[in-house]
Structure 1
Amino acid sequence: MTERNLTAAARKINLSQPAMSAAVARLRSYFRDELFGMRGRELVPTSRAEGLAAPVREALMHIELSIMARDVFDPARSNRRFRIGLSDFITVVFFRNVVERVAREAPAVSFELVALTDEHDELLRRGEVDFVILPELFMSSAHPRAALFEERLVCVGCCTNSHLLPRLTFDRYMSMGHVAVKLGAARKTPIEESFLLDLGLNRRIDILVQSFSMIPPLLVDTNRIGTMPLGLVKHFQRTMPLRIAELPQPFPAFTEAVQWPVLHNSDPESLWMREILLQEATRMATAQEPSIICTSERADTAGDFARSVSPLS
């Protein structure tokens, strides 16, 4: 079903092509259906095969997890590869810490990180990802989940952007050119845009991008602004001259959460990884970095202090 090629499917389950062809022939006889037909050089499933795919996949997952549950899980000896759907924001701000810890405690464990899609719920249902990490408000109730940490949005611009001083007004926020993100193939409306639309407001968007990490470079040496998670802005402040401005109309904070397939709920390896995620989220929340002050502001502050203590002032 996934390979759409008999040779590739045989290779994946360590069968020869003749053995695979014989197995497919037996399945066709049992189900009294062709199951697959050729379209060009690709195998295309029949409607009967499509209908069998989900229950067969779930049955195989049950068998796999039942076998795994009988073994004592030892992280130090595990060679499990976790497939996780997450955003660039989560990768940079949170998950890199998880990777560093796992490398110490379970050096043979590996990860495949995939971009979040609009079908993350379906990927969980099919067992094609072990976890997804995203805002809780975008999660369905079909699978278990756990809250990781809270995040809030801030306005960000270049340190030279004088329109952010002395404070950003709502009218100025709406009229300035924005670099905005729309995620996924369906280009879903971001959190801040949904909030504004609910108020019947439309901001001026100059540039649309597909990830939060694309916003900061497009702000440097311009008067454009962006709306981003605070943690990600702090990360980019280390290498770019960025100024944080509090939003004139604060948007509600949102909770980042992790979700996993319901069939993995008792999987020892999944339980271990969930514990790692929760512990690292707690550690991150208690070790928040301060925002970096723009160089010009440091100079002004130092000058004000010098003048205040000078006998000539």
Structure 2
Amino acid sequence: MRTSDISKFDFNLLRALHVLLRERNVTRAANDLHVTQQAMSGSLKRLRQYFDDPLFIRVGQHLEPTPMALALVAPVRDAMRQIAMTLETTPTFAPEVTRRHFRVAMSDHASLTLLPDLIANMAYAAPGITYEIQPVTKHTLYHLDLGELDLCVMPQNLRVHQSNLSNVCPKIRSTTLFDDCFVCVIDANNPTVGQELTLDQYVTMHHAALKMTDGLQSLVEVSWINAGIAPHIAASASSFASLICMVPGTPLVATVHRRLAYKFKTIAPLRILDCPVQIDVTRQQLNWHYRNDNDPTHRFVREAMVSAGATMQ
């Protein structure tokens, strides 16, 4: 039976509920908390008794949350986040002694250009802060809302594509880190291209092109459509870095970010040329949940990212 006397509530059950709401599977939840499946089933039984609600109903191999369980998602998530922040509280914020782990979703563009300088600077300014870098997916803003990510860096146009998360996006703050433009990269010894790459050559060449998931189109693909051209795609990959690595020793051309192209030019035989097709400038944005606005450690890392982006500009 539910009671408002928190002294009688086992807060281990709150942790169990948080994982069950995320995993919706007793076995996975038990593995996440490093307990037996029997112990997790016991926790679920006690939660059902406390809330006087089944909370989860089995549908096939999954547990589907009841309306009561869905109503608990946000308050339980926020409570767990507040507990974590409480445990990390220090009397004063001192970057040189603060210990914190940040989970950051980041595009490959940002991870190869912004991240190295950021890590180099923070290694001295805040050596106790660690980072776990994850790829950006269609679920990134949702995970940011759930508190499963602390920050994400993604192109502005990709943020727009995720705007269908109408209940999430208003909670997400963002700021610009840096802009970049697109260039073409070819093998340094490509005999068919002179000092300039003409539109006719660009259209007839074989391309290494970005293949985005979830039916999204890259800025390059959009520019091709706007220009009324359909270049032949000989190879595709999910990252711009992979496209550049395909070019040396081949007749391929890849249309990639200028900063990435020049970074790889120092280690690979590449030529960098202006792209004959007009492509919009890409803008990398830093995103975070508003609940972290006043968290001093979080703010410190955000400011370090903004500073690194300004240095790149």
- Structure 1 residues 201 and 103, CA gap change in structure 2 (3 angstroms): same
Matched, 1:168 2:187: no
Q: Which residue identity lines up with residue 56 of structure 1 in the other structure? A: V
Q: Report matched runs for 1:274-293 at 5 Å.
A: 274-285=302-313
Could you tell which deviates more after superposition, 206-215 or 191-200?
Answer: 191-200
- Structure 1 residues 37 and 201, CA gap change in structure 2 (3 angstroms): same
Q: 1:181 aligns with which of 181, 189, 210?
A: 210
Q: Which residue of structure 2 lines up, in the alignment, with residue 92 of structure 1?
A: 112
Answer with 1 or 2: which has the greater Rg.
Answer: 1
Deviation, structure 1 residue 252: 1.9
Give me the whole-angstrom Cα distance separating, in 1, the residues matched to 2:138 and 2:28: 28
What's the secondary structure of 1:179's corresponding residue?
strand
Q: Which residue of structure 1 lines up, in the alignment, with residue 275 of structure 2?
A: 247
Q: 1:47 aligns with which of 51, 66, 71?
A: 66
Deviation, structure 1 residue 37: 5.5
Q: Which runs of 5+ in 1 are unaligned?
A: 286-313
Give me the whole-angstrom Cα distance separating, in 2, the residues matched to 1:84 and 1:248: 35
CA contact (8 A) 1:178 1:206 kept: yes
CA contact (8 A) 1:68 1:267 kept: no
Q: Report matched runs for 1:2-151 at 5 Å.
A: 2-3=22-23, 9=29, 23-36=43-56, 44-48=63-67, 49-62=69-82, 64-65=84-85, 71-139=91-159, 140=163, 141-142=169-170, 143-151=172-180
What's the secondary structure of 1:163's corresponding residue?
coil
Give me the whole-angstrom Cα distance separating, in 2, the residues matched to 1:59 and 1:200: 52
Q: 1:205 aligns with which of 228, 233, 239?
A: 233
Under a length normalisation based on structure 2, what TM-score does the superposition of the two structures give?
0.80
Cα deviation digits, residues 264-312 of structure 1 (max 9, x gap): 1111111000110111112222xxxxxxxxxxxxxxxxxxxxxxxxxxx
CA contact (8 A) 2:223 2:278 kept: no
Deviation, structure 1 residue 7: 7.4
Give me the whole-angstrom Cα distance separating, in 2, the residues matched to 1:212 and 1:73: 38
Q: Which residue of structure 1 lines up, in the alignment, with residue 5 of structure 2?
A: none
Deviation, structure 1 residue 104: 1.0
Give me the whole-angstrom Cα distance separating, in 1, the residues matched to 2:118 and 2:106: 13
CA contact (8 A) 1:150 1:256 kept: yes
Q: Which residue of structure 2 lines up, in the alignment, with residue 221 of structure 1?
A: 249
Give me the whole-angstrom Cα distance separating, in 2, the residues matched to 1:202 and 1:38: 49
Give me the whole-angstrom Cα distance separating, in 1, the residues matched to 2:248 and 2:149: 36
The number of residues matched between the two structures is: 283
Q: Which residue identity lines up with residue 240 of structure 2 in the other structure? A: F
CA contact (8 A) 2:210 2:238 kept: yes
Cα deviation digits, residues 39-97 of structure 1 (max 9, x gap): 89x77243333453234213433565577678522222222110000122211111011
Q: Which residue of structure 2 lines up, in the alignment, with residue 289 of structure 1?
A: none
Cα deviation digits, residues 247-266 of structure 1 (max 9, x gap): 11231212111000121111
Under a length normalisation based on structure 1, what TM-score does the superposition of the two structures give?
0.80
Give me the whole-angstrom Cα distance separating, in 2, the residues matched to 1:223 and 1:8: 48
Give me the whole-angstrom Cα distance separating, in 1, the residues matched to 2:32 and 2:25: 11
What's the secondary structure of 1:207's corresponding residue?
strand
Q: Which residue identity lines up with residue 127 of structure 1 in the other structure? A: G
Identity of aligned residues (%): 28
CA contact (8 A) 1:86 1:132 kept: yes
Q: Which residue of structure 1 lines up, in the alignment, with residue 263 of structure 2?
A: 235
Give me the whole-angstrom Cα distance separating, in 2, the residues matched to 1:172 and 1:14: 59
What's the secondary structure of 2:192's corresponding residue?
helix
What's the secondary structure of 1:147's corresponding residue?
strand
- Structure 1 residues 17 and 196, CA gap change in structure 2 (3 angstroms): closer
Q: Which residue of structure 2 lines up, in the alignment, with residue 292 of structure 1?
A: none
Q: Which runs of 5+ in 2 are unaligned?
A: 1-19, 164-168
Q: Which residue of structure 1 lines up, in the alignment, with residue 300 of structure 2?
A: 272
Q: CA RMSD in A?
A: 2.7
Give me the whole-angstrom Cα distance separating, in 2, the residues matched to 1:18 and 1:214: 46
